[in-house]
């Protein structure tokens, strides 16, 4: 096999490829921009080469610099092309096509693009002209390639894709489908495999056509053929991505195949090890894309900053996290704000969903705004649970935008009881040596003005009993007061809480005025 592979990417996908290379005994070379010099993928690699400044078209899309890195390091292959940072036209052979307008509405999109960049819907000739101009500009700035595709727009479809794997000997397989219909701004948010919608005949027909396409262009490697599927299970070719998709882990989990390993073997010239009848669907896998985004603004506008606290839920079984960051990493304006891919697996869809709910509740991210509240609402929504989804799921379910989870009166009482029990637990530790009586009264009115004015807590060694509004709640659990996670039970029902602000602070003095210009390192506020 290869001795050294250069990974032409950054973030989680670069780390993902490096893990398999390390397992196979292959050295890796990382490329990075100057602001990514301390990134996790750079630290994981055996060698690292800076390919330019922060803007992607001057670094990760700088093909001259990347090819020079290949030559200077002696890398025998280049891998890791998974997202828009490596989709420059000169990176490989690209396909341009011209066609007659198929009738309105049409979708205008960048031929070299992904993630919704350069994509617009046009309902008439005037919108087509404007959309063509804007999409051309956006495609050129994002991907270094201004070419566009125009295709028929299908309203309210599902977005379902087929994973294919082909070698250089004419062999090709389809590795089942991925349901990718949960999207915002044409970017995937939650994916699962298999789809709840496809029957065996439709799955086979889509898989066979995907394989025929790969063979027709003599494709060799892992690739993804994407389709739009209407309510009658008619499917329409969308595009083929000749790379490793962000959502590939869910295919790996239900088939047991390591796609990166397969790609490396194919690139070296080995034939495929498997036949089509060897490809199973074992269980169910779900992926949530965790982004540094504010989900309350257009379902997710980027949030930049430093991860002051970061804890992945790897303590749970059947949970996989693909990430390229760690505590202290910066979320930059220059790159995609993805933090990680959170993947759960179960024997059934219900089991995979339950594990995803637990994993999201156990994920700790501080320092940036993130989309975990939105992800949790999606996977617990009745429409999603029933499989009643389309690419319009988010605007249909949240026509006025996402406003977060709305607590019921019962949920408010549980939250208040938990906070009161936690407060009492902390106070008891502090006063236990003073011989004071073990009972306290917590006044919640500043936080819950709609509730009764107090919560009475009668603590015992392990089961504080809290009375809120005449209802008695027993709060149990052995929590670490220094941990941001609080696993507990309320009336024997498991709950997971997170402490967002662990200390009450007092503003001692303020050293600046509103509107005043301040510099880095200036003293602004003193807290105690």
Query: Which position among 68, 127, 138, 239 bears the catalytic label?
Result: 239
Kindly give the pairing relationship between strand 338-346 and strand 187-193.
unpaired
**Crossing angle for the helix pair 248-255 and 259-268, to the nearest 10 degrees:** 90
Quick count: other Cβ atoms within 10 Å of Cβ 412?
A: 17
239 is catalytic: yes
**117 neighbors 109 (Cβ within 8 angstroms):** no
- The sign of the CA dihedral 77, 83, 88, 94 is positive
Q: Quote the CA–CA distance of 465 and 472 in Å, as a whole number.
A: 7
| Residue located via tokens 């790969």 | 214
Q: Please, which residues have CB within 8 angstroms of residue 278's CB and are 6 or more apart in sequence? A: none
The phi and psi torsions of 92 (rounded to 5 degrees) equal -160, -175
Q: Quote the CA–CA distance of 496 and 503 in Å, as a whole number.
A: 19
Q: Please, which residues have CB within 8 angstroms of residue 186's CB and are 6 or more apart in sequence? A: 115, 116, 119, 391
Kindly give the pairing relationship between strand 293-294 and strand 77-79.
unpaired
Q: What angle (nearest 5°) sits at the alpha carbon of residue 282, between those of residues 231 and 270?
A: 100
The phi and psi torsions of 415 (rounded to 5 degrees) equal -65, -40
Active site residues: 239
């Amino acid at each position: 096999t290869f001795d050294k592979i250069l990974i032409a990417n950054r973030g989680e996908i670069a780390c993902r490829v490096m893990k398999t290379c390390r397992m196979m005994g292959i050295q890796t070379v990382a490329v990075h921009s100057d602001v990514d010099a301390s990134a996790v993928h750079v630290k994981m690699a055996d060698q690292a080469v800076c390919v330019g400044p922060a803007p992607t078209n001057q670094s990760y899309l700088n093909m001259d610099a990347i090819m020079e890195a290949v030559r200077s390091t002696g890398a025998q292959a280049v891998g890791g092309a998974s997202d828009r940072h490596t989709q420059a036209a000169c990176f490989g052979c690209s396909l341009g096509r011209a066609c007659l307008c198929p009738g309105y509405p049409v979708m205008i999109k960048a031929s070299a693009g992904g993630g919704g960049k350069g994509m617009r819907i046009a309902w008439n000739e005037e919108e087509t002209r404007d959309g063509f101009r804007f999409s051309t500009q956006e495609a050129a700035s994002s991907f270094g390639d201004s070419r566009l595709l125009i295709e028929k727009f299908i309203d309210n479809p599902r977005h379902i894709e087929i994973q294919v794997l082909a070698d250089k000997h004419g062999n090709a397989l389809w590795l089942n489908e991925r349901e990718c219909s949960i999207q915002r701004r044409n970017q995937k948010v939650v994916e699962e495999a298999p789809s709840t919608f496809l029957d065996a005949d439709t799955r086979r027909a889509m898989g066979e056509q995907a394989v025929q396409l790969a063979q027709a262009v003599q494709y060799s490697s892992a690739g993804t053929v994407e389709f739009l599927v209407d309510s009658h299970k008619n499917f329409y070719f969308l595009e083929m991505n000749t790379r490793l998709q962000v959502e590939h882990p869910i295919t790996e989990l239900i088939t047991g195949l390591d796609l990166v390993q397969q790609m490396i073997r194919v690139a070296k010239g080995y034939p495929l090890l498997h036949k089509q009848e060897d490809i199973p669907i074992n269980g169910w896998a779900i992926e949530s894309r965790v982004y540094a985004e504010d989900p309350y603004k257009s379902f997710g506008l980027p949030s930049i900053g430093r991860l002051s606290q970061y804890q992945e839920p790897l303590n749970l079984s059947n949970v996989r996290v693909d990430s390229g960051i760690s505590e202290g990493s910066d979320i930059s304006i220059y790159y995609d704000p993805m933090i990680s891919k959170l993947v759960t697996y179960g024997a059934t869809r219900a089991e995979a969903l339950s594990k995803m709910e637990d994993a999201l509740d156990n994920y700790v991210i501080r320092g940036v705004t993130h989309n975990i509240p939105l992800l949790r609402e999606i996977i617990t929504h009745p429409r999603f649970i029933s499989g009643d989804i389309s690419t319009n799921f988010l605007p249909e379910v949240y026509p006025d935008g996402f406003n977060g989870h709305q607590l019921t009166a019962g949920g408010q009482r549980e939250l208040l009881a938990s906070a009161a029990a936690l407060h009492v637990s902390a106070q008891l530790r502090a006063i236990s040596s003073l011989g004071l009586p073990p009972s306290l009264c917590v006044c919640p009115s500043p936080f819950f003005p709609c509730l009764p004015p107090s919560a009475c807590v009668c603590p015992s060694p392990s089961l504080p009993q809290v009375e809120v509004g005449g209802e008695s709640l027993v709060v149990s659990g052995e929590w670490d007061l220094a941990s941001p996670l609080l696993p507990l039970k309320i009336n024997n029902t498991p709950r997971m809480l997170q402490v967002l602000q662990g200390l009450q602070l007092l503003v001692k003095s303020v050293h600046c005025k509103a509107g005043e210009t301040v510099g880095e390192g200036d003293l602004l506020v003193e807290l105690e």
